[in-house]
Amino acid sequence: MGYKTLVGLEIHVELMTKNKIFCNCKNEFGGEVNTHVCPVCLGLPGALPVMDKEALEFGIRAGLAFNSEIEKEVRTDRKNYFYPDLTKGYQISQADLPLCKGGHLDIELEDGVKRINLERIHIEEDTGKQLHTEDGTSLLDFNRCGVPLIEIVTKPDINSAEEARLFLEKLRSTLKYIGISDVRMEEGSLRCDVNINVVDDEKKIKSKITEVKNLNSFRSAVKAIETEEKRHMELLDKGENTDNETRRWDENLNETVIMRRKFGASDYRFANEGDLPSIKIEDSWLEEIRNNLPELPHEKKVRFISEYSLGQYEAEVLTGSKELAAFFEETYKYVNDSKLLSNWIMGDVLRRLKEEDMEIEALHIQPKDLADLILLVKDGKINNNTGKKVLKDMFDSGDSPEKIVKEQGLIQISDEGALEEIVEKILDANPQSIEDFKNGKDRAIGFLMGQIMKETKGKANPQMVNKMLLAKINLR
């Protein structure tokens, strides 16, 4: 049977509200050090927290998007510990009554859909930032202190690094879809900790759960899970075991390194946050938030499959982001050929975006322009290769396809008479190729095609040329 890997994830997501969660300092990444700080987030004596409506709404959106049960009376608790980036000596979080209970996210595996269940989602405040200098001091910036966070905790339903990756991708796109976070792991607006152990049901052995922190990207989360599960298995194989410890992912060493032993032993002395009487979530508000939720990725994918007759894979890719799906649908209005459109978008458009490390939002090609380009090719005015070149130019210049085609004189030569002339010319110049083709070397056609393209600067209509070549060779 072998080992089964059990992975649970704890994901912290920074909410992109206008203001911080308990005060009205700006919630903005990258401001000048210590300039978005007030008595509340600085933890001055007597300063008091007040819950932000937008932060609470964003948390509720997340709960609805993941099918969680929303707690109608929102209570907060103090999580007590001392650390320099924590200004009050406690973090206002939620202990036994999280904002959202349960919930799930489905991922697409090769052999079907797998449901990853959530334990809970709760709302809390972020801490400040610490920098370590070379001369042995720590520098503290509290701009980030008080930024609203939601913490999403999964059940240990994830059984491999690949499943974790799929889960994180889906989570990320859903969170972006509902507009509550820009989920940029590099900027810290999405942070992930991994809890992992392995079990062998037959031999009835299991390793002790270890926690891995300091994961800066999905890639490192995947690698950490892979190396960690291997480490657990190797220890069990030797008859040893892991320890309940917290480990850190080290990118350079490509392995997990111990950070501290015995996690979970901290006494946080959770106590009700007396400065924040519980908040009632009215049913009417909840309904309003629910109605304003955008169509979620899964719903959209199902709709794309049926409405546009797309395959699973295409639908998955095209609904990967809300903006990409919107781009597809907008362009479709002008093109009306979903197969063709999806090929173009999934091919050249996405490829170029990936090369430039850009998101679709940054693309300055209008849907109508892309549609026009596709139609130009579909109608035979330019050939496919020309089309790709025009797209490249559109990317760079932002000009419309008509303009580019006109300026560069790229209209495909589909005039029979003109083509005939050229075909005859090339055939006359290449008797050997004709001979080769007649002797069974099919490649010779390709060579002749290439010559014709060269002669016409790529503008010859390939389908027509192909037909003509075959016809004329037979006559020779």
Partner 1 sequence: MITKDEVNHIASIAKLKIKEDEILLFTEKFDQVMSFVQKIKEVDTDNVEPTYKINDEDGFLKENGESQTLTREEVLRNTVDTQYGYFKILKVVE
Partner 2 sequence: MDISSLKAWEMREKLLKKEISAVEILESHLNRIDSVEKDINAFITIDRDNALKASKGVDEKLARGESLGVLAGLPIGLKDNIMTKDLRTTCASKMLENFIPPFDATVVRNIRREDGIILGKTNLDEFAMGGSTETSYFGNTRNPRNLDVVPGGSSGGSAAGVAANELAISLGSDTGGSVRQPASYCGIVGIKPTYGMVSRYGVMPMSNSLDQVGQFGRDVKDAFLMLKGVSGFDPLDGTSSKKSGINFDLEGGSLKGLRIALPVEYRDLKVTGDEKIREMFDNTLKVFEREGAIIDYVSLPHLKYALETYYIISTAEVSTNLSRLDGIRYGYRTENYETLDDLYTMSRTEAFGEEAKRRIMMGTYALSAGYQDEHYKKALKVRTLIKNDYDKTFKDYDVILSLTSPILPFPFDSIINSPVDMYKADLYTVPVNLAGLCAMSMPMGEIDGLPVGMQLTGNRFQESKIIRAGYAFEKVVK
Residues at the interface with partner 1 (CB under 8 A):
18-19, 23-26, 32-40, 42, 50-54, 56, 74-75, 82, 84, 130-133, 136-142, 259-260, 267, 269, 272, 276-280
Which residue is associated with the tokens 């203001």? 19
- Binding status of residue 48 toward partner 2 by CB under 8 A: yes
Q: Which of 15, 215, 276, 434 binds partner 2 (CB under 8 A)?
A: 276
* CA–CA separation, 410 and 341 (whole Å): 22
132 makes contact, choosing from partner 2, partner 1, none, with CB < 5 to 8 Å by partner type, with: partner 1
C-alpha dihedral, 73 to 296 to 222 to 342, nearest 10°: -170
* Residues in CB range of 387: below 8 A, 6 or more apart: 373, 374, 376, 377
- Binding status of residue 35 toward partner 2 by CB under 8 A: no
Rounded least distance, CB 150 to partner 1, Å: 16
Q: How many Cα neighbours within 13 Å face the side chain of 71? A: 21
429 makes contact, choosing from partner 1, partner 2, none, with CB < 5 to 8 Å by partner type, with: none
Q: Which of 18, 33, 53, 89 binds partner 2 (CB under 8 A)?
A: 89
Q: Are strands 100-101 and 148-154 parallel, antiparallel or unpaired?
A: unpaired
45 makes contact, choosing from partner 1, partner 2, none, with CB < 5 to 8 Å by partner type, with: partner 2
- Binding status of residue 44 toward partner 2 by CB under 8 A: yes
* Residues in CB range of 184: below 8 A, 6 or more apart: 190
Rounded least distance, CB 329 to partner 1, Å: 33
* CA–CA separation, 4 and 369 (whole Å): 51
Amino acid at 369: D
Q: Using CB atoms within 10 A of its CB, is residue 436 exposed (0-12), middle (13-18) or buried (19+)?
A: middle
Which x/- pattern, by CB under 8 A, does the window 185-224 give for partner 2? ----------------------------------------
Toward partner 1, which CB reaches closer, 137 or 284? 137
Rounded least distance, CB 22 to partner 2, Å: 9
- Binding status of residue 260 toward partner 2 by CB under 8 A: no
Toward partner 2, which CB reaches closer, 2 or 45? 45
Compute how many other C-beta atoms are within 10 angstroms of the C-beta atom of residue 131. 10
Which residue is associated with the tokens 């005859």? 424
Helix (H/G/I), strand (E/B), else coil: 255: strand
* Closest listed residue to residue 127, CA positions, set 101, 159, 153, 90: 90
- Binding status of residue 80 toward partner 2 by CB under 8 A: yes
166 makes contact, choosing from partner 1, partner 2, none, with CB < 5 to 8 Å by partner type, with: none
Measured in residues, the chain has a length of: 476
Toward partner 1, which CB reaches closer, 137 or 252? 137
What are residue 272's phi and psi, to 5 degrees? -55, 140
Residues in contact with partner 2 by CB under 8 A are: 39, 42-51, 78, 80, 82, 84, 87-90, 140, 142, 267, 269-272, 274-277
